[in-house]
């Protein structure tokens, strides 16, 4: 399997505080990779360094074999690395559809204002392509009926999928998701996971931070665990669930016992 | 066919407005009112440009007076000192606008909010002081005997002729502004105001979008300034004060930030209201201020935006936000 994203010895220091220390992560192609860990473990910092909103203190980030360390965020996005945020960032005074169209702008950004004013036909054609693509995506993420509402008036869950849709509009190879399921109720979460799986099937790799273990354990192929800025474990969901250090630092003993009782129940059923 | 209808529907209000503006001199032949009419149209042009920065991108710039002034001086000095044809002088004026845009856009990348406003006020004061003190710009007395525009010997030297010349420019700038307002640039400008970080991760260079907004705005401002110079035939630095910059922003706030119609209405209100209040004598400034305060209190989103909203409410008859759907709709189905 080819490597899509490679993080080498990534370190971020804020004054005296070391937020991320010597982290190495390798994300393979066609995988959903999750990053978990307790609060303040440096997950979001890592994500921000990958997509260029934060500059790493040291270390290297390779995306598709290309060094993207310290590149401005917009260039990294143009290379096909989308992102969503933990605290939703939509454009409140634009409609849902317009929000999505912003996501497609960099693919339809030939020339400046002058060219737009002079080449009426070309501009109109580009505008039409963007609108059609946005309509397609808004249908896919299931908020078609809200397309003409201002984003700030949308319910929380819809804003969340809208943000995801905006990332999709850029036709990314990979999307970084920062706590996509946070704040969603059970049914919304199920819908969201469905959308994520649909995206994955369409060929987009996902790299996500998530606290919700249902989501993480169900959809991810590979999990990396951070604690106090350092990687403490990496493996498949079942490996992570039985890793003693992960249980101590993050999952907690309760998780272990629940799992044990479930397993023993399973064994008992099998025995019967 | 439906497309055609919607196009007519969209263009009709603009057309009606332009017709109204073009018929204005028929009803008010008085030179005095014509002068204010010209002033109002120039304000419209500046306000339409300023709308890209203040209204859409959400950056409060208070240096527009200087931009207007630099446009006026560029054209005036070139045509009086070097004898350049005023039409030809429009090219350096455009370049000037472009340069100011780049120059003013740059600090906007570094300082934000009130601090940015302070920087732009400083810019305005520096420009005004330079214009007042440099001998080259005619110091305090300004530039006199600026030639009017002319086409094949037809001089735009009367109020009425100037009115239609400025009107023609206004039409051009309205078309440009409307086209930009319909394009991805409007979305980019608003995105800069709403959430620059999100725009950046969407693959757009926020700095260049900001600078684009400034460049556009300065070009609008500079051309309006040049028109002003050749219309008034006489300019002094005392015109281009921070007060003028503030009144440009007031136009937008009165009319409605980010609203095309608001710009036009605001420009006319700010141009005409003081003249209509002339009869109040010395207390006119007081009345003017009170009216402005009332306008802001009664129409907190700008006159145009609020009217539009209430009309929209009447049409929808309080349907409001009921279309709902998708994720979030079934919050109760937990």
Q: How far is B130 from chain A (nearest CA, A)?
A: 32
CA distances from B160 to B32, B146, B263 (A): 11, 18, 24
Q: Per the domain annotation, does B321 fall within a domain?
A: no
pLDDT of residue B315: 67
Q: Per the domain annotation, does B213 fall within a domain?
A: yes
Q: Give pLDDT < 70 ranges for chain A.
A: 254-272
CB pairs under 8 A between A and B: 148
Number of domains in chain B: 1
Secondary structure class of A225 (helix, strand, coil):
strand
State whether B199 and A102 contact (CB < 8 Å). yes
Q: Does the CB of A68 have a partner CB in chain B at under 8 Å?
A: no
Q: Per the domain annotation, does A257 fall within a domain?
A: no
Give the residue from chain A lying closest to B193, CA to CA. A91
B200 to chain A: which residues are within 8 Å by CB? Answer: 53, 72-74, 77
pLDDT by residue (tens digit) across A17-74? Answer: 889 999 999 999 899 999 999 888 899 999 999 999 999 999 999 998 899 998 999 9
B212 to chain A: which residues are within 8 Å by CB? Answer: 112-113
Minimum-distance CB partner of B201 among A53, A109, A186: A53
Q: Does the CB of A182 have a partner CB in chain B at under 8 Å?
A: no
Q: Which of B174, B175, B216, B212 lies closest to B191, judged by CA? A: B212
Number of domains in chain A: 1
State whether B190 and A187 contact (CB < 8 Å). no
CATH number of the domain encompassing residue B90: 1.10.3470
Q: Per the domain annotation, does B63 fall within a domain?
A: yes
List A residues 83-142 in contact with B (Cβ-Cβ < 8 A): 83, 85, 89-94, 98, 101-103, 105-109, 112-113, 116-117, 123, 126-127, 130, 141-142
Q: Give pLDDT < 50 ranges for chain B.
A: 1, 318-334
**Strand-pair category, A3-14 with B150-151:** unpaired
Cβ-proximal residues to B214 (8 Å cutoff; 6+ apart), any chain:
B53, B61, B100, B101, B102, B104, B105, B108
Minimum-distance CB partner of B326 among A77, A123, A143: A143
Q: Per the domain annotation, does A261 fall within a domain?
A: no
Q: How far is B320 from chain A (nearest CA, A)?
A: 10
Direct distance between the N- and C-terminal alpha carbons of chain A, in angstroms, rounded to an integer:
41
* Bridge partners, residue A230, by sequence: A227
* Bridge partners, residue A33, by sequence: A207, A222
- Residue of A48, A52, A55, A74 best to disrupt the B interface, most CBs of B under 10 A: A74
- Complex confidence, ipTM: 0.87
The answer to whether residues B148 and B233 touch, using CB atoms and an 8 Å cutoff, is yes
Direct distance between the N- and C-terminal alpha carbons of chain B, in angstroms, rounded to an integer:
46
Cβ-proximal residues to A98 (8 Å cutoff; 6+ apart), any chain:
A91, B187
State whether A93 and B200 contact (CB < 8 Å). no
Q: Does the CB of A150 have a partner CB in chain B at under 8 Å?
A: no
Q: Does the CB of B312 have a partner CB in chain A at under 8 Å?
A: no
State whether A89 and B195 contact (CB < 8 Å). yes
Q: Does the CB of B192 have a partner CB in chain A at under 8 Å?
A: no
The answer to whether residues A224 and A194 touch, using CB atoms and an 8 Å cutoff, is no
pLDDT by residue (tens digit) across B40-87? Answer: 999 999 999 999 999 999 899 999 999 999 999 999 999 999 989 999
pLDDT of residue B216: 94
State whether B203 and A123 contact (CB < 8 Å). no
- Residue of A91, A163, A171 best to disrupt the B interface, most CBs of B under 10 A: A91
Q: Per the domain annotation, does B93 fall within a domain?
A: yes
pLDDT by residue (tens digit) across B94-135? Answer: 999 999 999 888 888 888 888 999 999 999 999 999 999 998
Q: How far is A75 from chain B (nearest CA, A)?
A: 6
Give the residue from chain A lying closest to B198, CA to CA. A89
A170 to chain B: which residues are within 8 Å by CB? Answer: 202-203
Q: Per the domain annotation, does B170 fall within a domain?
A: yes
The answer to whether residues B216 and B49 touch, using CB atoms and an 8 Å cutoff, is yes
DSSP string over A109-175: --S-HHHHHH-HHHHHHHHHHHHHHHHHHHHHTT-GGGTTSBGGGS-HHHHHHHHHHHHHHT--SEE
Secondary structure class of A25 (helix, strand, coil):
strand
State whether B202 and A109 contact (CB < 8 Å). no
A188 to chain B: which residues are within 8 Å by CB? Answer: 327-328, 330-331
Q: Per the domain annotation, does B77 fall within a domain?
A: yes
Q: Per the domain annotation, does B246 fall within a domain?
A: yes
Tokens 């045509």 — which residue? B79
A71, two tokens = 């590149």
Distance CA A181, CA A216 (A): 10
Q: Per the domain annotation, does B327 fall within a domain?
A: no
Q: Residue B68: give the domain boundaries.
A: 2-316
CATH number of the domain encompassing residue A193: 3.40.50.300
pLDDT by residue (tens digit) across A148-170? Answer: 999 999 999 899 999 999 999 99
């Amino acid at each position: 399997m080819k490597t899509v994203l490679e993080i080498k010895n990534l370190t971020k220091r804020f004054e005296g505080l070391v937020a991320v220390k010597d982290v190495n992560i390798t994300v393979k192609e066609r995988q959903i990779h999750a990053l978990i860990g307790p609060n303040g473990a440096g997950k979001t910092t890592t994500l921000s360094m990958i997509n260029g909103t934060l500059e790493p203190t040291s270390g290297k980030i390779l995306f598709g074999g290309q060094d993207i360390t310290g590149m401005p965020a917009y260039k990294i996005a143009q290379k096909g690395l989308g992102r969503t945020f933990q605290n939703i960032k939509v454009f409140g005074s634009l409609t849902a559809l317009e929000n999505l169209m912003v996501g497609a702008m960099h693919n339809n950004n030939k020339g400046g204002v002058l060219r737009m004013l002079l080449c009426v036909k070309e501009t109109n054609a580009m505008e039409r392509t963007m609108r059609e693509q946005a309509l397609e995506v808004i249908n896919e993420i299931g908020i078609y009926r809200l397309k003409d509402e201002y984003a700030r008036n949308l319910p929380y869950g819809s804003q969340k999928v809208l943000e995801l849709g905006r990332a999709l509009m850029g036709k990314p190879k990979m999307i970084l998701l920062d706590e996509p399921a946070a704040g969603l109720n059970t049914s919304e979460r199920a819908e969201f996971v469905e959308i994520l799986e649909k995206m994955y099937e369409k060929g987009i790799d996902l790299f996500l931070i998530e606290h919700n273990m249902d989501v993480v354990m169900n959809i991810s192929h590979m999990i990396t665990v951070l604690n106090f800025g350092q990687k403490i474990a990496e493996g498949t969901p079942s490996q992570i669930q039985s890793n003693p250090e992960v249980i101590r630092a993050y999952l907690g003993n309760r998780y272990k016992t629940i799992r044990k009782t479930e397993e023993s129940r399973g064994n008992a059923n099998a025995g019967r | 066919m439906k497309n055609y209808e919607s196009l007519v529907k969209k263009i009709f209000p603009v057309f009606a407005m332009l017709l109204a503006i073009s018929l204005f001199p028929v009803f008010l032949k008085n030179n005095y009112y014509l002068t204010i009419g010209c002033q109002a149209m120039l304000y419209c042009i500046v306000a339409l440009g300023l709308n890209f920065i203040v209204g859409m991108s959400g950056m409060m710039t208070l240096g527009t007076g200087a931009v207007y002034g630099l446009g006026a001086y560029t054209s005036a000095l070139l045509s009086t000192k070097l004898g350049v044809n005023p039409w030809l002088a429009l090219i350096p004026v455009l370049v000037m606008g472009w340069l100011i845009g780049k120059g003013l856009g740059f600090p906007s990348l570094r300082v934000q909010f009130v601090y940015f406003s302070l920087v732009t006020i400083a810019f305005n004061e520096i420009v005004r002081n330079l214009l007042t003190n440099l001998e080259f710009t005619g110091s305090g007395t300004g530039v006199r005997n600026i030639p009017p525009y002319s086409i094949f010997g037809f001089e735009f030297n009367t109020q009425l002729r100037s009115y239609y010349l400025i009107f023609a420019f206004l039409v051009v700038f309205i078309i440009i502004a409307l086209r930009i307002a319909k394009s991805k640039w409007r979305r980019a400008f608003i995105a800069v105001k709403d959430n620059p970080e999100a725009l950046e991760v969407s693959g757009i260079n926020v700095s260049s979008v900001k600078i684009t907004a400034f460049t556009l705005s300065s070009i609008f401002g500079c051309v309006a300034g040049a028109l002003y110079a050749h219309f008034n035939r006489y300019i002094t630095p005392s015109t281009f004060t921070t007060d003028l910059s503030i009144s440009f922003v007031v136009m937008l706030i009165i009319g409605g930030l980010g609203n095309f119609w608001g710009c036009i209405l605001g420009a006319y209100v700010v141009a005409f209201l003081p003249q209509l209040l002339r009869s109040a004598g010395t207390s006119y400034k007081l009345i003017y201020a009170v009216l402005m305060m009332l306008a802001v209190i009664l129409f907190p989103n700008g006159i145009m935006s609020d009217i539009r909203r209430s009309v929209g409410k009447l049409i929808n008859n309080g349907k409001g936000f009921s279309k709902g759907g998708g994720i979030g709709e079934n919050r109760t189905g937990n």
